[in-house]
Amino acid sequence: MNEIKTDVLILGSGGAGLFAALHVYDNNPALNVVLATKGLIGKCGCSRMVQGGLNVVLNEADSVEKHFMDTIKGGGFVNDQELAWTLVNDAPQTVRELDVQVGCFFDRAEDGTIHQKAFAGQSFDRTVHIADLSGIQIIARLTDQVFRREEKIKVLEETRGLDLLTTEDGERVVGAVMADLRTGEIFVVNAKVVLVATGGAASMYKISAPSFDKTGDGMAMCFRAGAEFVDMEMVQFHPTGLLAGQSRLSGSVLEEGLRGAGGHMVNGLGERYMERYDPERMERSTRDRVARAGYMEIMAGRGTENSGVMLDMRHLGAAFVEKKFPGMCERVMDIGKDLARETVEVSPTAHFQMGGARIDINCRSSLQGLLVAGEDAGGVHGSNRLGGNGICESTVFGRRAGDTAAALAEQDYLRPYRQEQVEEIKKRWLACFKRTSGVDIYPVRDEIKKLMWEKVGVVRAGAKLTEAVARLEELLEMAGGAFVANRDLKRYNLEWQEIINVTNWITVGRLVADAALLRTESRGSHYREDYQETDNQKWLVNICQKKDGGQIKNYAREVNASRFTAEEIRTSNIKY
């Protein structure tokens, strides 16, 4: 088996992974970095799909305190306050670096300053952007900068991580077992420091927004290695996922700036329904509220024929919509609709996971040698992420992860991995090629998407969650017995890749369902129809999880209330 030895291994080429690679190099150009991406660098992942932009305090009338409070309130007060404080304080420096050093061309106001637009759930218009397709520019420019440093940053495209390697005691990560999708080869990367930044697993839902290569690989690997997780019940559903029948565009996001600019949400009866759910903020309410409102309108029989609701921009004028949202107009035109001149059918769509591996402000996980950043990490957003705080998190904590990785790699030495662990991982992932019959993975894939949507989705209940937990256990066992039809082909074997994807979906789905069953209240994105009230007396805590043998150990931790106390939150006596 081939082996690569390096100082730092980065899994993922989104905003977090790319920025981390740059910061490792810029801290110490002598360090070697391996950056592995499941697709093609600069062309895959969800950071590239970011439309709206990045939240940052730039205006004198705004403040980091306001941004912090918006983030905490939006997160239902269960955010790790030190992580949230780091997010808002590092954002200005991050944007300056993107603007001046990385070369992103942010839209400008008439006076030449960076333009900031309205996003939901915020007390100030602080979202910087590049038209309505910000992620493409950010990822393209970061990728350019990585290529400039290619003598020390080795990029492995179409390469995925299978599992992390640990020391004998399981306390330290020392690398990963990898698979080259182009050849089917399995190989080892031995590293002083490993950063996981592969994104979440929202694609495990029937209607979802993420790129197809984003299947929770990093989260599943971290869990199997023994890392501690937090807030896994908190899954965000974006309110406006495009409905396009069987098209692959179905579920893709129509950006939040459309509502921020004054777009209306209308049900199948033509009613502007948000006044029933948040009459003060209406369509500019937080994502969890708008998504839940749309779902409830559909469930109440007031949806469209295709089980959706409508986004209406017509009253803003076609010229305005086409000028401000060219990317969204083009996306809708792809399905034969005109965003500027007619209503467009949308549905809540699984979008983002607030939960993930538990980290500190420097991206260190509960395992030595393992850093986690971006959507793979939990704690920043609490129970609901504000639009514009996602790519902000990826870039802010990607920079920090790079700085931390460089410091650790300089101080540490390369520890050996255990060959028996490598063989066990290889045997497990290649077992499907040894079978001449077994489980067909595609019906399992379809079932988990339906199961997660119906029983662990926008609106939850104890009985449905209990059914989901039990069935996910069975599906994981079924996936373990899957086989590939073409046993002689490992190169670009899509069936093999789907077996890995589905296994990781189920692994992450079990964490989500377990935590959702345990939290007997409603908070942010987590809504229990059998416990509709928020209970600060009992549930002003974070649900944590980790592997315990073959099971999941669930337990609660007090919220990291470093800026204001739990008692202040309980009594709503918060002054800032």
Which of helix, strand or coil describes residue 487? coil
Q: Is the pLDDT of residue 343 over 90?
A: yes
237 sits in which H/E element = strand 235-242
Q: Which of 310, 326, 349 is the last residue of a domain?
A: 349
Q: What's the rounded Cα separation, in Å, for the pair 178 and 176? A: 6
Q: Do residues 400 and 373 make contact, with C-beta atoms less than 8 angstroms apart? A: yes
- Domain end position, chosen among 349, 373, 397: 349
Residue 281 backbone phi and psi in degrees, to 5? -100, -20
In the residue annotation, 259 being an active-site residue is answered as yes
If one compares 268 and 49, the residue with the highest pLDDT of the two is: 268
Determine, yes or no, domain membership for 378: yes
pLDDT in tens, 439-476: 999 999 999 999 999 999 999 999 999 999 999 999 99
375 lies in some domain: yes
Host H or E run for residue 537 = helix 536-539
Q: Which of 387, 411, 435 is the last residue of a domain?
A: 411
Q: Are residues 345 and 356 in the same domain?
A: no
Q: Are residues 298 and 358 in the same domain?
A: no
CATH of the domain at 83: 3.50.50.60
What is the tens place of the pLDDT at every residue in 271-329? 999 999 999 999 999 888 999 999 999 999 999 999 999 999 999 999 999 999 998 99
The answer to the question of residue 531 being in a domain is: yes
Longest dimension (CA), the chain: 68
- Does 238 participate in catalysis according to the annotation? yes
Q: Which two tokens stand for residue 123?
A: 């007390």
pLDDT tens figures, 143-164: 999 999 988 999 999 999 999 9
Of 238, 381, 399, 510, the active-site residue reads 238
Domain span at 321:
238-349
Mean pLDDT of the chain: 94
Catalytic residue (choose from 67, 259, 331, 528): 259
From CA 220, how far away is CA 162, in angstroms rounded? 9
Is residue 293 domain-shared with residue 202, that is, in the same domain? Answer: no
The DSSP line for 162-177 is EEEEE-TTSSBEEEEE
Tell me the C-alpha distance between 252 and 238, whole Å: 10
